[in-house]
Amino acid sequence: QVQLVESGGGLVQAGGSLRLSCAASGRSFSYYTMGWFRQAPGKEREFVSAINRSGAGTYYADSVKGRFTISRDNGENTVYLQMNSLKPEDTAVYYCAARSYSRGTNYPDMQTTYDYWGQGTQVTVSS
């Protein structure tokens, strides 16, 4: 069982930056691939980024590639999402998710492969 708590959201002007954090409970954090997803008003939740268990493999949606950076600290049981050059279309609730190693390494962008979810943190980018 893993509990996830996101933080770091807020209101920022276009072009600004935010750093999201997701703190995980439990002692098996390194067993999980970690992902970030987001849901904008009136839209379906979508994949943003993921990082494998060691942190050596990272994945990004095309819409955030080059602007967002995912990282993790297995000693601190925390995954981060550094968001730079933010755009109004980045406005959404951002969710952290964890996927057990037993699900393998394929399709880190698929929501249905994640086992645990946080409650989300709001990010609002003003124009």
pLDDT in tens, 35-89: 999 999 999 999 999 999 999 999 999 999 999 999 999 999 999 999 999 999 9
The pLDDT value given to residue 105: 81
Mean model confidence pLDDT for the chain: 96
First vs last C-alpha separation in the chain: 40
How far is 68 from 58, CA to CA, in rounded Å?
A: 11
Which positions ≥6 away from 93 have C-beta within 8 Å?
Answer: 38, 39, 120, 121, 122, 123
The pLDDT value given to residue 84: 98
Query: In the numeric block, which tokens belong to residue 19?
Result: 């750093």
> Is 18 a residue whose pLDDT tops 90?
yes
Query: In the numeric block, which tokens belong to residue 7?
Result: 């933080």
Amino acid symbol at 7:
S
